[in-house]
Amino acid sequence: MKRNAEFEFSAGLRWTHWLRAIAIAVLTVTGFYLTYVFIVPEASDEPILFLNAKFRMWHEIAGFLLIAVTLFKLYLFLIDKVSMKERIAFLDFISPKVWIQQIKYYLFMGEHPHLKGVYNPLQFIAYVGLYAMVFVISLTGLILYVHMYQGGGIGLFLYDFMRPIEAMMGGLAMVREIHHIVMWGILIFLPIHIYMAIFNSIMGKEGSMDAIISGYKFTKHDSKH
C-alpha cells in the first residue's frame, strides 16, 4: 500500500479558512467585552481611555473581514474550477448509501466510504449550517452597525436597506438577541469541527488536517510488487 499526494484545497480556500478563524476569534473576544465589560481601565482625567471604543473598532474590523472572506468563499464555491470538488460533494450528500457508510465509519462499524467530493455528508451539512449562521450573524451585525454610523460612509449607504430587515426581525432588541444566539451556535460548532477534523485525520491517516495548510492530502493506492 502506498500513498500519493493529491491536491485538495486551493490557496484561496485555505486563506479564507484561516482568515475566517481569526475573524471569529477576534469577534468572540471583543463581542463578549461589548456585552459583558470584563476590563475596566484606571480612572484618568485625560480623555484617552476609550477602551470600549477600541474593542468596538476591532469588532467591526473583524466583522467586515468575516463578510469579505465569506463573499469570496462563496465566489470560489460557485465559480472556481479547483473548488469543483466542493460542489461535487453535494452528490455524496444526497446519497443514502454514503450516509449509511459514513455513520457506520464514525461508529467504528465499517470503512470510510469512497467520496466523489472533498466533504462527507455530515461535513457538508455542517458547513452549510455554519455558513447559514455566518450569514445571519453578519446581517444582524450590519443592522447594529448602521445604528452607530448612519452619519456617513458605508453606514449611511446601508442604513435604508437594513431598517426594513430590522423591522421584519422584530426590532433592534430582537436583532441583538438573534446576533447573540447565533454567536453561541458558531461557538458550539467550533469544538465539534476541531474534534471531527482530528478524528478523521487520525482514523484516515491521509493527512486531512495538513490539507488545510498545504493543500495536499495523501490518498491510499494499492501497489503490486
Residue 95 belongs to a domain with what CATH number? 1.20.950.20
* Domain assignment of residue 62, given as a range: 2-221
Tell me the angle at which helices 172-204 and 11-35 cross, rounded to the nearest 10 degrees.
130
Question: Which residue bears the cell 491521509?
Answer: 206
Cα angle: 137, vertex 142, 145; to 5 degrees: 125
Which of these, 77, 38, 63, 75, lies nearest to 182 by C-alpha position? 63
Which residues have CB under 8 Å from 31's CB, separation 6+? Answer: 59, 183
Q: Which amino acid is at 173?
A: A
Per-residue pLDDT at 185: 95
pLDDT at residue number 22: 95
pLDDT in tens, 106-128: 888 888 888 888 888 888 999 99
Q: What is the pLDDT of residue 45?
A: 67
Q: How far apart are CA 186 and CA 42, in angstroms?
A: 34
Strands 2-7 and 216-221: antiparallel
Contact 1, 221 (CB under 8 A): yes
* Residue 1: per-residue pLDDT: 47
How many separate domains does the chain show? 1
Query: Which amino acid, one-letter code, is at 15?
Result: W
Stretches in the chain below the pLDDT threshold 50: 1, 223, 225
pTM of the model: 0.84
